[in-house]
């Protein structure tokens, strides 16, 4: 005879959820808003059609916005400008409220304008990054973008009011915008640190300091992408004539399987979002990826192909 043991019922304070309450209220709530898909999907489809395929002029524009040329995502570089500038605006406004100084007023207006310029770049680059997301990631990104657009409009209204002599009203608008920007910044951090959007998806793959055998050289077909395991690290091989090349099999952009991609000469195209990498050295040929693939030293010994991951500066 068996009996079921029921767990002791405890209060929420004694057994809090695994995630902090703020993440339930903000992050997970936004993720669950499926109505955002009705707005996000058609916008995303239009963007993907506009950017086109690798090699097209509009796709080169996407690579520029993604940061392929920089080797780093451009969006987080630009987001510091509006947040930093508007923090300065807030402090200068507080100083002006304490003592109505023309210098404080001019400084607040200048930082507000600088923030608007930075926000424009942040929105454009953010849209390019967002266009590759799906599901809950797309919902959070869309809410993040809608908030940022609304915040920019709020600050623009604030600037106009200030120039019309309605400074206190302008300060009220910018204060609302600043508080909203903190909420939006939380969502941006949620995408990067909780969901891994924009990070290097091969950054934490290890590797062996020594050569490890991965397959028989006789089993490697000419000109065919072949996935192997190198001491726990997925790699993709390509044989061209007497040469064998090996790079990481996980796309650095969002983790797509490069061994299932399309081969164009010595360049492999990821099947997920079209990032292209050169098999000879792992370098990025076309985005949206911004980080190169890890490469492996290759040797043939006793009929076995052996790999050793190379460290890059």
Alpha-carbon separation of residue 25 from 1, 10, 19, 186, 191 (angstroms): 44, 21, 10, 12, 15
Q: List phi, psi (to 5°) of 251.
A: -65, 130
Specify whether 234 is located in the same domain as 175: no
CA dist 228 and 17 (Å) reads 40
Q: What is the CA radius of gyration of the chain?
A: 25
Specify whether 131 is located in the same domain as 47: yes
- CB atoms closer than 10 angstroms to residue 280: 14
CA dist 100 and 108 (Å) reads 12
Specify whether 31 is located in the same domain as 144: yes
Specify whether 163 is located in the same domain as 110: yes
Specify whether 190 is located in the same domain as 233: no
- What is the pLDDT at residue 232? 86
In a domain, 14, yes or no: no
Specify whether 60 is located in the same domain as 150: yes
In a domain, 16, yes or no: no
pLDDT tens per residue, range 264-276: 999 999 999 999 9
- CB atoms closer than 10 angstroms to residue 77: 15
In a domain, 2, yes or no: no
pLDDT at position 2 over 80: no
pLDDT tens per residue, range 36-91: 999 999 999 999 999 988 888 899 999 999 999 998 999 999 999 999 999 999 99
- What is the pLDDT at residue 289? 93
276-278 β-sheet, strand order: 262-264, 267-269, 276-278, 284-286
Number of folded domains in the chain? 2
pLDDT band at 13 (very low <50, low <70, confident <90, very high): very low
CA dist 198 and 190 (Å) reads 11
Specify whether 234 is located in the same domain as 290: yes
In a domain, 172, yes or no: yes
For 56, the domain range is 21-194
Specify whether 134 is located in the same domain as 236: no
The answer to whether residues 155 and 93 touch, using CB atoms and an 8 Å cutoff, is no
Q: Which residue has the higher pLDDT, 6 or 109?
A: 109
Query: What is the sign of the dihedral through the CA atoms of 212, 215, 218 and 224?
Result: negative
In a domain, 118, yes or no: yes
In a domain, 184, yes or no: yes
In the chain, pLDDT over 70 holds for what percent of residues?
90
- What is the pLDDT at residue 12? 42
Average pLDDT taken over every residue of the chain: 89
CA dist 21 and 17 (Å) reads 7
In a domain, 148, yes or no: yes
CA dist 272 and 252 (Å) reads 12
Specify whether 149 is located in the same domain as 263: no
Residues in the chain: 313
Specify whether 267 is located in the same domain as 144: no
| Least confident span in 19-23, 172-176, 215-219 | 19-23
CATH of the domain at 275: 2.102.10.10
Specify whether 190 is located in the same domain as 269: no
pLDDT at position 27 over 80: no
In a domain, 144, yes or no: yes
What average pLDDT does the segment 208-226 reach? 90
Q: Which of 112, 117, 116, 109 lies closest to 163 in space, CA to CA?
A: 109
Specify whether 82 is located in the same domain as 177: yes
Strand, coil or helix: what is 249? coil
- CB atoms closer than 10 angstroms to residue 32: 11
The answer to whether residues 271 and 257 touch, using CB atoms and an 8 Å cutoff, is yes
- CB atoms closer than 10 angstroms to residue 16: 10
Rounded to 10°, the helix 102-130/75-98 angle is: 160
- What is the pLDDT at residue 120? 95
């Amino acid at each position: 005879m068996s009996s079921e043991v029921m767990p002791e019922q405890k209060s929420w304070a004694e057994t809090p959820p695994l995630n902090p309450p703020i993440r339930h209220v903000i992050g997970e709530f936004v993720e669950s808003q499926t109505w955002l898909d009705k707005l996000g999907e058609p916008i995303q489809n239009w963007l993907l059609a506009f950017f086109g395929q690798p090699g097209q002029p509009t796709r080169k524009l996407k690579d520029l916005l993604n940061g392929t040329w920089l080797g780093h995502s451009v969006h987080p570089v630009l987001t510091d400008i509006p947040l930093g500038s508007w923090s300065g605006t807030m402090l200068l406004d507080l100083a002006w409220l304490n003592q109505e100084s023309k210098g404080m007023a001019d400084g607040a207006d200048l930082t507000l304008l600088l923030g608007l310029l930075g926000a424009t770049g942040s929105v454009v680059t953010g849209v390019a990054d967002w266009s590759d997301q799906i599901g809950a990631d797309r919902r959070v990104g869309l809410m993040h973008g809608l908030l940022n657009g609304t915040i920019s409009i709020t600050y623009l209204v604030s600037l106009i009011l200030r120039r019309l002599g309605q400074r206190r009203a302008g300060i009220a608008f910018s204060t609302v915008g600043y508080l909203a920007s903190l909420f939006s910044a939380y969502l941006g951090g949620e995408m990067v640190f909780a969901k891994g959007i924009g990070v290097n998806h091969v950054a934490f793959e290890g590797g062996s300091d020594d050569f490890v055998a991965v397959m028989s050289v006789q089993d490697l077909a000419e000109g065919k992408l072949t996935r192997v395991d190198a001491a726990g690290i997925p790699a993709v091989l390509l044989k061209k004539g007497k040469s064998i090349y090996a790079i990481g099999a996980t796309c650095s952009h969002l983790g797509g399987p490069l061994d299932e991609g399309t081969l164009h000469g010595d360049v492999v195209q990821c099947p997920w979002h079209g990032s292209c990498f050169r098999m000879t050295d792992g370098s990025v040929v076309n985005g949206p990826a911004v980080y190169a693939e890890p490469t492996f030293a290759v040797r043939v010994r006793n009929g076995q192909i052996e790999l050793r991951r190379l460290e890059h500066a």
